[in-house]
Structure formats: C-alpha cells, structure tokens
Amino acid sequence: MAGSAPELEAVIGLEIHVQLSTRTKMFCGCELSFGDEPNVHTCPVCLAHPGVLPVPNEQAIRYALQIGLALDCEIAPRSIFHRKNYFYPDSPKAYQISQYDIPICGPGRLGDVRIHRAHLEEDAAKLVHVGESGRIHGSGASLVDFNRGGTPLVEIVTEPDLRGAAEAAEWARLLRETVRQLGVSDVNMEEGSLRVDANVSVRPAGSEELGTKTELKNMNSFRFLQRGIEAELARQREVIAAGGRISQETLHFDPRTGDLTPLRSKEEAHDYRYFPEPDLVPLAPTEEMLREAREALPELPAARAERYESELGLEAEPAALLAREPEVATYFEAVCEAAGAAAGDEARAVSPRMVANWVTGELTATLRQREAEEDFTDPTVPAPSLARVVALVAGKKISHGSGKQVLAALVEQGGDPDEIVEREGLAQMAADDGELEGIVAAAVEANPDAAEKVREGNQKAIGAIVGHVMRETKGRADGGEVNRLIRAKLGL
C-alpha cells in the first residue's frame, strides 16, 4: 500500500474466455481435440478457403444458453453475430466471428458480482514461433496450427464489482466451479480452456467514477491471477502516489518473474470495423432450447450456498465452502440426512450447523494429516459413520474430544463408531454419576490456588481444575458439565 493521503480503492472487472467442450468446432464439422499433430483437424471452412460459409454449432449455442442461465443472464431472443476484422495469420478469414452489440446473454449475476454480458465466438489458431525460445522475438519463422482455430468460446465480461485481488481470484474460482458443474467446458487454466483477463484500476475510496484501467493478460492460474492483480494494484498506487497518471494499456504477466510488461497501448489498437456477419442469420433460441437448457442446469454452487444459508441456517462462509464442489455438498447432505438433521427440528440434537462444523472443521483437519487427496464420491469416513459421531457428541454420549478420537480412528482403520467408543472406553460419564462429582472434588482440592482465584472472580483460573478433571477422566467428561460441577463445589 502506497499509504498516501486518500485511500485508493481497487476496482476490478474480469473477462473470461471459456472454451466449450463440444464435439466439433463453432462453425464447421471438424473435431475438437488437443495435442494432435498440427493441422489434422481442418477443413475448407476453418481454413477459410474461398466460398466457404460458417454454420453455427447447435451444441455450442445450447452450452452458451446454459452458461447464461447459470449466471442469471437475460437471454436475448435474437442475438447477432458480427465480424471483427483484423489481419493476422492466426485468423484465416482475417476476421473473427463474434458478437458485438446484441450478445446471446445480457446482464446477469454470479454471487456478489454483476455479469455485464456473455457472448459466443470462435477461437483463433495457434502460432508456433520457430526458434529456441518459442517466442516471437528472435524467431526466424512462424508456423500456424489450425487445429484450435474455430473452437467455440463463450466470453464472459463482468461489471467492475471486485474490490481486491484475493476477492477476484476467489470469485474466478466460483465461476470456474460453476461452469465445470454445467459440464460445458474443461475449464483448465493451464491448458487454456479457461482464460481470465483482468481490468484493473484504482480510485479514491468512496468515489463513483472509474479510474483509467489496464488490462492484464496471460495469468494462467488463480494464484497468478491474484499475484498479477496485486502487482498491478501496487504499481498503480505507486504511480498515483508519485503524482503520475495511469495510461490505458494491455499488460502481459510473466509467470516466471511475476513481471507485467506492456503489450500494446490502446491508442494504437486496431479498428476492428465490426459489422453484422451477413453469412449468418440472427440467433433465436427456440422455447424448447431454452426449456432444455433450464432443465439441464444442476444446482449450482451459488444457489446451493444460498439454500444452505436460508434453509439449513448455515453461516455464509461454511455454506460457500460446502456448496462449491458438488461431491462435498452431496456428502454433507448425506451426513445431515443420516443424522436425522432436518432443519428446524429442535427435537433432534444434531443441527445442520453442527454437521457443517464437523465436515469443514474436524473431518477436514483429520483428513489433511494424510497425504492423499480426499475423494468425496468414495469418502474415507462414510456419511452414516460421521453422522453417528456427531450424534454421539450432540447427545452428550461422548465428549467433543472423544468424538475427534473416534473420527481419527475411523480415518485410520475404519469401523463402527459405537464399537470404537466401547473399545476405547470413551463413553461420557453421566452428570448424575457420583464418580464425576468425586473426581471434581479431588481436583478442587488438588488445585487450591486456582480455586481461590476462581472464587475471587478470575474465570480463566478454572482451566487448571478442568484440565485436572479431563486428565483423570481421559476426556470422557463433558466440558460444560465439569464447569458446572466445579462452580457448584466452589459455592458459586
């Protein structure tokens, strides 16, 4: 942070390119496939031979509709394809078919971020620069691989609603997870099937005006996205602190060094001479297509998190955490169901909130101690087992600490929670059991200094006595009960 007088607020918008995982290309019948010999997936259409015409891929349109619906976008009844004209060998027609003033998906929202639009377009071919570095500088020649040329893309543009680098990366993860769950893209950032560019600017906190933005490209992981934005925000704050001005430019992120280098300034940017693509008719999804797209939508992370908050009473953070991946969500819901944890059912001791705490807290922590990644479609601790553990703790059959012990045993060797409790002698001592009272009395006697301090009003001092009881009971006593008994013994 530059630390200059007016606090500078970050204003970030994202532009996301999603490669659709259709079987064929956007405007021809060539197969989509990665890693094959160059130029094997080509035809007269995607090589832009004279006389060829584009024919839109219906599957791509269906996928775009699903993305639009998942992002709560308005779907245009008739959207228009435009030509974006520019000369470069990665664009064989010398124009890209894209959408301009009437995209298929209009304004929408995902989480706290407004979506400006989402449109369909085709990807460019891949240039291979011959030479040692593989980069254009110092290369003697360039070759074109048209396999990727014409891959269907959905470009999603957000409003500048993000206020920090971490927030932007977190939101991008939510978007990735959302699109992944639609099953319309591999959304792999390293392979380029998900590409996230960021528009970054700063402005005095509280201001409504937007500052001059720069566009960051080539951040091919969420970590790099965050680092790139952080670096750019720091740079912009420094420039402004030094009395300078931000100039509008495109910056290229170098993952090796973390440096941002200018690509080209917008002043010399192309005039793309957009005009309506005369080879295509307006894109008008039928009612049936829209209905099918709606029906194909799974429950998506944002909606699921919303439901966890409103119906299950979860806090926002655990709700989002549990809702993001469908496998985790399914597991969580299975545990709730097994524990009989219906919302608002006060008769039951187990609440969804408790289950959420166990899944995101104790279970995650226990599992993390192992090297292997947890596969929630085949969980290490079956849902009914975890449900039983939570129920035992909630019903005060075992203490919280014992519950963690049972869980550790389940992770290590599996088995039945009740048998583990029995075997390990973890059953909680009943409150009305004279044994616990005896132990408490002994503990108070053994810690006269602490007892005196508690009597004088030092609440923290009780810890020593509680600790004593817990050691004696091997954790089988309920903490709350122990506290109550100690205070009673001390006449408080």
Partner 1 sequence: MSDLLQLSVAEAAARISARDLTAEEYFAAWQAAAESDELNAYLWSLTDADVYEVEQGPLGGVPVAVKDIFCTEGSPTTAGSRILEGYRPPYTATAVRLLDRAGARVLGKTNMDEFAMGSSNENSAYGPVLNPWDRGRVPGGSSGGSAAVVAGGLAPCAIGTDTGGSIRQPASLCGIVGLKPTYGAISRYGMIAFASSLDQCGPLTRDVTDAALMLAALQGRDPMDSTSVGIEGGIAAPSREDLSGLRFGVPVQLDGDAIDSGVREVFEATLKRIEELGGEIAEVSLPSSELGISAYYVLAPAEASSNLARYDGVRYGMRAEVDGDLTEMYEATRSAGFGPEVKRRIMLGTYALSSGYYDAYYGQAQKVRTRIAEDFIGAFSEVDFVVTPTSPSVAFGLGEKTDDPLAMYLNDFFTVPMSLAGIPAISIPAGLAEPEGGGTRLPVGFQVAAPAFAEQSLLEAAYALEQGIGFEREVAPLRPWNGGAA
Q: Shortest gap between Cβ of 133 and partner 1 (angstroms)? A: 18
| Contact call for residue 58 and partner 1 (CB under 8 A) | no
Nearer to partner 1, 60 or 200 (CB): 60
HSE on the CB side for 20, CA within 13 Å? 30
* Residue 244 three-state SS: coil
Element (H, E) at 237: helix 222-241
Contacts of 431 (CB under 8 A, 6+ apart): 478, 481, 485
Q: Does 50 bind partner 1 (CB under 8 A)?
A: yes
Binds partner 1 by CB under 8 A, chosen from 3, 35, 37, 51: 51
The 3-state DSSP class for residue 102 equals coil
CB of 379 to partner 1, least distance (A): 49
DSSP 251-304: EEE-TTT--EEEEEEGGG------EE-TTS--B---HHHHHHHHHHPPPPHHHH
Q: What is the closest distance, in whole angstroms, from the C-beta atom of residue 24 to partner 1 in the complex?
A: 13
Residue 260: CB minimum distance to partner 1, A: 26
CA distance 303 to 176: 15
Read off the DSSP letter of residue 360: I
Minimum distance between the CB of residue 146 and partner 1, rounded to whole angstroms? 9
Closest CA to 148 of 15, 50, 25: 25
Q: Which is nearer to partner 1, 53 or 242 (CB)?
A: 53
The SS3 call for residue 77 is: coil
Residue 271 engages partner 1 in binding (rule: CB under 8 A): yes
- Of 278 and 425, nearer to partner 1 (C-beta) is 278
Residues of this chain, 99-118, that bind partner 1 according to CB under 8 A: none
Alpha helices in 339-461 (DSSP H): 352-357, 364-368, 383-394, 400-413, 417-424, 434-446, 448-455
Judged by CB under 8 A, the residue of 4, 7, 23, 44 near partner 1 is: 44
Binding residue for partner 1, selected from 20, 26, 65, 144, defined by CB under 8 A: 144
> Quick check: 55 binds partner 1 (CB under 8 A)?
yes
Shortest spacing between CB 95 and partner 1, in angstroms: 6
Q: Does 49 bind partner 1 (CB under 8 A)?
A: yes
Q: Is 83 in the site for partner 1 (CB under 8 A)?
A: yes
- DSSP conformation class of 32: P
β 108-110/113-122 pair status: antiparallel
Nearer to partner 1, 278 or 448 (CB): 278
Are 171 and 17 a contacting pair, CB within 8 Å?
no
319 binds partner 1 per the rule CB under 8 A? no
Q: Which is nearer to partner 1, 47 or 349 (CB)?
A: 47
Q: How far is the CB of 43 from partner 1 (least distance, A)?
A: 8
**Contact residues for partner 1 (CB under 8 A)?**
44, 47-56, 83, 85, 87, 89, 92-95, 144, 271, 273-275, 278-281
